[in-house]
A and B are shown apart, each in its own frame.
Chain A
Amino acid sequence: MTIKHHLTESLLMGYAAGSLPEAFNLVVASHVSLCDDCRAAVESYEALGGAVLDDAQVAMAEDGLADCLARLETAAAEVETAPPAPRSANQAHSLPAPLRDYVGGDMDAIRWRPVGGGVKQAILRTSESASARLLFIPAGSAVPDHGHRGVELTMVLQGAFADATDRFARGDVEIADEDLEHTPIADIGADCICLAATDAPLRFRSLIPRLLQPFLKI
């Protein structure tokens, strides 16, 4: 698997700095689970965070250390908790680990809801500032032509889709903003499953999907 479409520098830095909304964090964590280059970049930005700490020193209260040492007494019991076992690496048909946490299982645990034209979606529970959902696009089908009010990140988890800009396969992320109007079409070979996150509702061009938008929560 070769990932062609990566995350931007500001998304990677924002993830390391902790300034992205939860839904975007989920896309970054999922992509980084499959992409060593972006993982390396995130770890570099975390190292920069460690360096930034040096410029932020405020004296602790006089008894701060004593208080903290006292708290270690009660904390001691939890010390032996084992690290989480490394999970099964990335088989081509499984969800990256951070997504499995949100779905409550792997691909077969996704609770799909039809949205018309064979397209299905499952909304994931994240904080309000941005929304995340899984999209199922049947092989050869299209998602209705739509534009974006904010930023939309779409990461392919299975199959592939193409739009006017390029083709996107497993692990690839398409970053769309106000300027992109596109009609993603799934490859004919396999149904396409994507993770999409946006900080604003999508804006459909045709009237019917636009009327349905409040009910579909997309």
Chain B
Amino acid sequence: MMQQRAVPTAPSSGPPAHVMRGVIAMGSWRLNDKKSAIEVEKAGLSRDMALIREARDRAAFARLFGHFAPRIKGFLIKSGTEPSVAEDCAQDVMVTVWKKAHLFDPARASVATWVFTIARNRRIDLARREKRPEPEDLGWGPEPDQTQDETLVMQQDSERLGTALAALPDAQRLLIEQCYFGELSHRDIADVTGLPLGTIKSRIRLALDKLRHAMGSTP
């Protein structure tokens, strides 16, 4: 568990200019102001990323490692990677986090999202030895006076999404997870689960609709 830290103060004014970028970054998933113990932990992750980025802080890296390395390893194993290879690759991913810390923009993604994209790209490279085309960079730099607000919004959204996912019925949550763990197409999932393709698609859609609803917007 992360040691607990103070959360940055919530913005006191109404939705400022960051909303536009927040909406773009998070699609239709909106913010609220609820706080929880886990949120304090997530705030810690984002603080630790800042410490790595700005001070090359190894203690902060060790805390991020404690949080993310087991998750990355589990993600790789569930995606079909040998445990010994997964251990090594999880370390690779964490080294990449250290090396690319200056590219992390807390106003555009939570730490968990960013780490997921690095782990996903590592998995694609591992499984298929192919590159992954990335979209053109929009070149939005964070505006210094808004970064704190946007970072908070990202943490809150990220936390609420985790809660919403955990609250899904098992069958729906597992289908969503199968979409992320590995190379399974909907057709493959149908084969594995024995469910007809139409049922798979409608269950995934239902699960996504529930998540959107939980994030405060209608599909």
Report which A residues bind B (CB closer than 8 A). Answer: 9-10, 13-14, 17-19, 22, 25-26, 28-30, 32-33, 36, 39-44, 46-61, 64-65, 67-69, 71-72, 75-76, 78-79, 81, 83-87, 89-90, 96-98, 101-102, 126-127
Contacts and interface: CB of A to CB of B under 8 A. Distances in A.
A47 B157 contact: yes
B135 A53 contact: no
* Main SS class of interface, A: helix
Contacts, number: 212
B28 A64 contact: no
Contacts of A40: 23-28
12 contacts: A10-B186, A30-B135, A48-B161, A49-B116, A57-B71, A58-B70, A59-B73, A68-B95, A69-B62, A79-B102, A98-B133, A126-B130
Given A53-B112, A64-B91, 15 more contacts: A17-B120, A18-B120, A46-B117, A47-B29, A50-B161, A53-B74, A53-B116, A56-B74, A68-B69, A72-B58, A72-B95, A75-B98, A96-B136, A97-B135, A98-B134
Contact of A60 (B27, B73, B121): B73
Contacts of B90: 60, 64
A44 B132 CA distance: 18
Contact of B113 (A33, A47, A79, A85): A47
Interface of chain B: mostly helix, strand, loop or mixed: helix
A99 to B, nearest CB: 8
Contact of B110 (A9, A17, A50): A50
Contact of B137 (A30, A54, A97): A97
B169 to A, nearest CB: 14
Given A29-B134, A126-B130, A65 B25 contact: no
Interface in B46-61: 56, 58, 61
A110 to B, nearest CB: 17
Contact of B119 (A42, A53, A97): A53
B206 interface: no
Contacts of A44: 26-29
A39 B132 CA distance: 16
B129 to A, nearest CB: 8
B98 to A, nearest CB: 5
Given A18-B120, A54-B162, A83-B103, A49 B182 contact: no
A50 B28 contact: no
Contacts of B195: none
B133 A43 contact: no
Q: Which of A42, A44, A81, A126 has the most CB of B within 10 A?
A: A44
Nearest to A100: B136
Contact of B116 (A22, A46, A72, A89): A46
A129 B112 CA distance: 30
